[in-house]
């Protein structure tokens, strides 16, 4: 919302709810706008578009003569104890250019007789209107709530002729913050005053919420607010609430040590309280917009980095695949001596580390497919352990414990990986750089005998992942809301990874459960239960002598994969483009499996598969790729792809995948 629009909205909203009856007329003396109090004076009749000469039975000549002399015109209304004040309004930049008229109905008190008293009242209103105009400018342009508040409370004290003023801010948890305007040191000790005010202020707050209007507290026994007048050593006290959309944001208080307040002074403080409520809401909205813009910018940066990483990953994966393939062949062809074996093992160890670090980095950036797959928890824990040991400080002791013969689980490996890694990151931050973190994975069986200990789970086998630390622990009050959206015990600057709310949703989607136990000063333990997968069918046996068509433009990688497949009794036809693959398939060569690279020149892997499907060939397809910036589920469904394999290849995994789909 622009500052001009905000200023217009704030001014209209402010004037619309004033007690004073005000209206605006255009150059033709016709009513263009009026507030509720003005409408109330005239009842149910039509007002907008009616000339003020007809509304008030005033001669147009009198109004225009005052307009020429740039004076306000006061006209007594014969049918009520009121005056109508008509003031010509000119452009600020061009004082001779008339833009309309402001109209105000002023009701006279019984004791007021004669025009002089009315004019004094008008002068006070005009002076206050000028102050309001200045305050509106500050409200729109100023970003500091402290500065705006200081201006508003100082004007409240000045115009109401008070000895002091203060603003009490509050939040949803009923925490109070005080801001004093005490230039004359009328209040000797502000901190002591705060402590003394708080017990009584809770009751005053309830009164304000119930009545939604200002309270004039007098220094008389049995008067509401009497204790506050005693504490602040004053004879009278205006307590004016700052409401915005029925929410009490703050309270303005001004006090006099002698005398009481007039209705005009109370009205002034009430109007300034309305301005303060707008200011608080406006600045909070600005801060929220700034935070959202910052998050959006960060998300855009991450998206850009993710795209760059995907492109690099494709080339890097091809290189690693070539290294792994060469190592597999090298083991078969060189003498099996200790020195040779040690050198090959060293190369493989470094390559595995590079592959794992790449996977760990990309797992946060890539889009998460919704398709569930068979996940081996021991491999998942191994991947996390490598990232933790390579990136966490050496001052943190890391312990891994995994059951033998751990059950497999059916789920999304990327999501479970993200949850467990995030729990480890949280544990690292809880230990403050020194301590012990334990990651364990165990089989657990729930039956009729022990189900009472797991009321949220069904009977069956589960894999229990546990992340435990000996850090600072979590307070009991925070444990109750730790899985709530937006809740965090961390500073904004240190928040990283998934929130626990998101982690909870992921585990729940896997039909599992996540629990937390903690003790302040002793540490925290998160337990994640995920149902075990029970295979329904035995794995198909190896199918030798099958023909595999391999389409990949990376010649070295293609040669290595072909040699490895041939060493496992598969016949391989190699091509380097999608066009060659189509040519082979149309030459009546029966192919049992297609392995097609995602990223090929001229015709991409997906374009090739699309053309193959149009030939109505019922042949399984494996898509190999080193990129992660596409939706696997959507791609597999749309192009009827049987499986996707990520580069760099783990050749045992490739062989298992081939045996599954062939």
DSSP string, 518-535: EETTTEEEEEEEEEBP--
Compute φ and ψ for 453, nearest 5 degrees: -85, -10
Q: Stretch 417-433: mean pLDDT, rounded? A: 89
Rg over CA atoms, the chain:
39
- How far is it between the farthest Cα atoms of the chain? 121
Secondary structure letter of residue 541 according to DSSP: P
pLDDT band at 188 (very low <50, low <70, confident <90, very high): confident
Give the residue, 34 or 239, on which the prediction is more confident: 239
Secondary structure letter of residue 494 according to DSSP: G
> To the nearest whole percent, how much of the chain has pLDDT over 70?
79
Tell me if 503 sits within 8 A of 423, measured CB to CB: yes
Which pLDDT score is estimated for 2? Answer: 45
Which pLDDT score is estimated for 609? Answer: 92
Tell me if 86 sits within 8 A of 73, measured CB to CB: yes
Lowest mean pLDDT among 312-321, 331-340, 511-520, 590-599: 312-321
pLDDT, mean over the chain: 80
DSSP 345-370: HHHHHHHHHHHHHHHHHHHHHSPPP-
Which pLDDT score is estimated for 335? Answer: 79
Which pLDDT score is estimated for 481? Answer: 74
DSSP 393-458: -TTEEEEEEE-TTPPPEEE-HHHHHHHHHHHHHHHHHHHTT-EEEEEEEEEEEE-TTTGGG-TTS-
Q: Are strands 643-646 and 621-625 parallel, antiparallel or unpaired?
A: parallel
Partners of 645 in the beta sheet? 624
Lowest mean pLDDT among 67-71, 245-249, 383-387: 67-71
End-to-end, the C-alpha distance of the chain in Å comes to 61
* CB atoms closer than 10 angstroms to residue 248: 15
Residue 491, pLDDT > 80, answer no
Which pLDDT score is estimated for 468? Answer: 95
Residue 531, pLDDT > 90, answer yes
Give the residue, 234 or 72, on which the prediction is more confident: 234
Which pLDDT score is estimated for 493? Answer: 39
Looking at the whole model, is its pTM more than 0.75? no
Helix (H) / strand (E) element for 545: namely none
Most confident of 29-33, 110-114, 371-375, 633-637: 29-33
- The interaxial angle of helices 651-661 and 555-566, nearest 10 deg, is 70
What are the pLDDT digits (tens) for 91-109? 766 666 788 888 888 776 5
Domains and CATH numbers, the chain: 3-139 (3.30.450.20), 142-367 (3.30.450.40), 371-531 (3.30.565.10), 547-661 (3.40.50.2300)
Identify which of 122, 42, 557 has the alpha carbon closest to the alpha carbon of residue 315.
Answer: 557
pLDDT band at 10 (very low <50, low <70, confident <90, very high): very low
Partners of 440 in the beta sheet? 401, 466
- Residue 191 class from Cβ within 10 Å (0-12 exposed, 13-18 middle, 19+ buried)? exposed
Query: Which pair of structure tokens corresponds to residue 229?
Result: 């007048």
> To the nearest whole percent, how much of the chain has pLDDT over 90?
18
Which pLDDT score is estimated for 356? Answer: 61
How far apart (Å, rounded) are the C-alpha atoms in residues 437 and 170? 40
Q: Stretch 600-609: mean pLDDT, rounded? A: 90
pLDDT band at 41 (very low <50, low <70, confident <90, very high): confident
How far apart (Å, rounded) are the C-alpha atoms in residues 412 and 423? 17
Compute φ and ψ for 469, nearest 5 degrees: -135, 165
Q: What burial letters (b/e) apply to 567-596, b meaning 16+ CB within 10 Å?
A: eeebebbbbbbbebbbebbeeeeebbbbbb
Positive or negative CA dihedral for 576, 581, 587, 593?
Answer: positive
Which pLDDT score is estimated for 116? Answer: 44
Residue 365, pLDDT > 50, answer no
How far from 273 is each of 155, 244, 279, 376, 542, CA to CA, in Å? 11, 10, 10, 63, 81
pLDDT band at 457 (very low <50, low <70, confident <90, very high): confident
How far apart (Å, rounded) are the C-alpha atoms in residues 220 and 119? 35
Partners of 646 in the beta sheet? 625
Give the residue, 134 or 53, on which the prediction is more confident: 53
Identify which of 600, 597, 603 has the alpha carbon closest to the alpha carbon of residue 622.
Answer: 597
Identify which of 595, 591, 607 has the alpha carbon closest to the alpha carbon of residue 561.
Answer: 595
Residue 369, pLDDT > 50, answer no
Identify which of 550, 532, 537 has the alpha carbon closest to the alpha carbon of residue 654.
Answer: 550
CA–chain centroid gap for 99, Å, is: 45
What are the pLDDT digits (tens) for 431-445? 888 899 999 999 999
- The interaxial angle of helices 263-333 and 145-159, nearest 10 deg, is 170
What are the pLDDT digits (tens) for 305-360? 556 666 666 667 677 777 877 887 787 788 778 778 888 887 877 777 677 656 65
């Amino acid at each position: 919302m622009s500052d001009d629009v905000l200023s217009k909205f704030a001014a209209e909203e402010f004037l619309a709810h004033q007690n004073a009856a005000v209206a605006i007329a255009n150059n033709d003396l016709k009513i263009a706008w009026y507030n509720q109090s003005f409408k109330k004076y005239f009842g149910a009749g039509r007002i907008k578009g009616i000339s003020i000469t007809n509304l008030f039975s005033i001669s147009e000549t009198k109004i225009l003569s005052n307009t020429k002399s740039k004076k306000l015109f006061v006209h007594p209304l014969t049918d009520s104890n009121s005056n109508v004040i008509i003031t010509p309004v000119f452009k600020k930049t061009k004082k001779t250019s008339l833009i309309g008229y402001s109209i105000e109905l002023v009701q006279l008190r019984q004791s007021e007789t004669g025009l002089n008293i009315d004019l004094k009242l008008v002068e006070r209103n005009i002076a206050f209107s000028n102050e309001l105009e200045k305050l509106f400018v500050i409200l729109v342009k100023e970003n500091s709530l402290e500065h705006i508040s200081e201006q508003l409370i100082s004007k409240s004290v000045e115009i109401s002729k008070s000895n002091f003023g203060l603003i009490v801010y509050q939040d949803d948890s009923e925490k109070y913050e005080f801001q004093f305007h005490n230039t004359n040191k009328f209040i000797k000790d502000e901190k002591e005053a705060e402590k003394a005010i708080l017990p009584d202020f809770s009751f005053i707050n309830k009164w304000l919420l119930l009545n939604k209007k200002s309270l004039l507290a007098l220094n008389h026994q049995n008067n509401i607010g009497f204790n506050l007048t005693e504490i602040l050593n004053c004879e009278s006290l205006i307590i004016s609430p700052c409401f915005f959309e029925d929410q009490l944001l703050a309270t303005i208080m001004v006090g006099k040590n002698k005398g009481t307040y007039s209705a005009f002074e109370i009205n002034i403080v009430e109007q300034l309280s309305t301005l303060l409520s707008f200011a608080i809401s406006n600045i909070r909205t600005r801060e929220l917009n700034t935070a959202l813009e910052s998050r959006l910018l960060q998300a855009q940066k991450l998206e850009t980095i993710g795209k760059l990483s995907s492109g690099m990953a494709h080339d890097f994966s091809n290189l690693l695949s070539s290294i792994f393939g060469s190592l597999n062949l090298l083991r078969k062809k060189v003498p099996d001596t200790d020195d040779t074996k040690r050198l090959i093992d060293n190369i493989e160890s470094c390559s595995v580390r590079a592959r794992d670090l790449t996977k760990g980095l990309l797992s946060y950036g890539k889009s998460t497919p919704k398709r569930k797959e068979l996940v081996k928890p021991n491999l998942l824990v191994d991947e996390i352990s490598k990232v933790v040991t390579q990136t966490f400080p050496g001052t943190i002791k890391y312990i891994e414990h995994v059951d033998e013969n751990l059950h497999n689980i059916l789920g999304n490996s990327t999501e479970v990986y993200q949850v467990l890694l995030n729990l480890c990151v949280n544990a690292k931050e809880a230990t403050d750089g020194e301590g012990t973190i334990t990651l364990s994975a165990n089989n657990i069986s729930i039956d009729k005998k022990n189900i009472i200990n797991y009321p949220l789970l069904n009977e069956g086998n589960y894999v229990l992942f546990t992340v435990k630390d000996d850090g600072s622990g979590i307070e009991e009050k925070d444990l109750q809301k730790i899985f709530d959206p937006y809740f965090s015990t961390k500073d904004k600057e240190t928040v990283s990874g998934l929130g626990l709310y998101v982690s909870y949703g992921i585990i729940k989607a896997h039909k599992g459960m996540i629990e937390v136990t903690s003790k302040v000063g002793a540490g925290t333990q998160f337990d994640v239960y995920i149902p075990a997968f029970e295979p329904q069918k035995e794995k198909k046996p190896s199918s030798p002598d099958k023909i595999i068509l391999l389409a990949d433009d990376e010649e070295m990688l293609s040669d290595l994969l072909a040699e490895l497949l041939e060493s496992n009794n598969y016949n391989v036809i190699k091509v380097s483009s999608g066009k060659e693959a189509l040519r082979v398939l149309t030459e009546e060569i029966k192919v049992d499996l297609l392995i097609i690279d995602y990223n090929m020149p001229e015709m991409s892997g997906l374009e090739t598969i699309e053309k193959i499907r149009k030939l109505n060939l019922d042949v399984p397809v494996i898509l190999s790729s080193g990129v992660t910036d596409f939706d696997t589920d959507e791609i597999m469904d749309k192009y009827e792809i049987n499986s996707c394999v990520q580069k760099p290849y783990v050749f045992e995994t490739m062989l298992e995948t081939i045996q599954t789909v062939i």
